[in-house]
Amino acid sequence: MTNEVADLIAALRDGSMSLEVVAQRFRERAWPPARRPPPETYLEMAAREEQDPDPGVPGSFDDVAAAYARGELTRTQYRVLAEAVAESKRDKHHQDTE
């Protein structure tokens, strides 16, 4: 199963898109949350400890982190893309608070 993030990473790897173009696309897209909200009580925290870890969320930053862990992105590429995602999220947060 592919998604926009995986497709962009594949385009970066095969050379059909530059790092700058992929980073710009990352800045322009909306990013889904990668994790559920943190527990608010000790009971919720204890219950969460007994559950399986959250699965990766397709189309989220999880795809970028997984690609880096698999060796599909260099450290420099990962840093540039991570910063692009952070910029996108900061811009979204700024828009939401206006």
In a domain, 50, yes or no: no
In a domain, 76, yes or no: yes
The alpha carbons of the chain give a radius of gyration, in whole angstroms, of 16
Please give the single-letter amino acid code of residue 88: S
d(Cα 51, Cα 98) in Å, to the nearest integer? 37
Segments of 1-98 assigned E as strands: none
Number of domains in the chain: 1
In a domain, 88, yes or no: yes
Question: From the CB of residue 75, how many other CB atoms can be counted at a distance below 10 Å?
Answer: 8
Q: Which domain holds residue 62?
A: 4-33+57-97
pTM of the predicted structure, to 2 decimals? 0.75
Q: What is the pLDDT of residues 48-67, one digit of tens each?
A: 888 776 677 889 999 999 99
Q: What is the pLDDT of residues 17-40, one digit of tens each?
A: 999 999 999 999 999 876 677 788
In a domain, 22, yes or no: yes
In a domain, 52, yes or no: no
DSSP secondary structure code for residue 50 in this structure: T
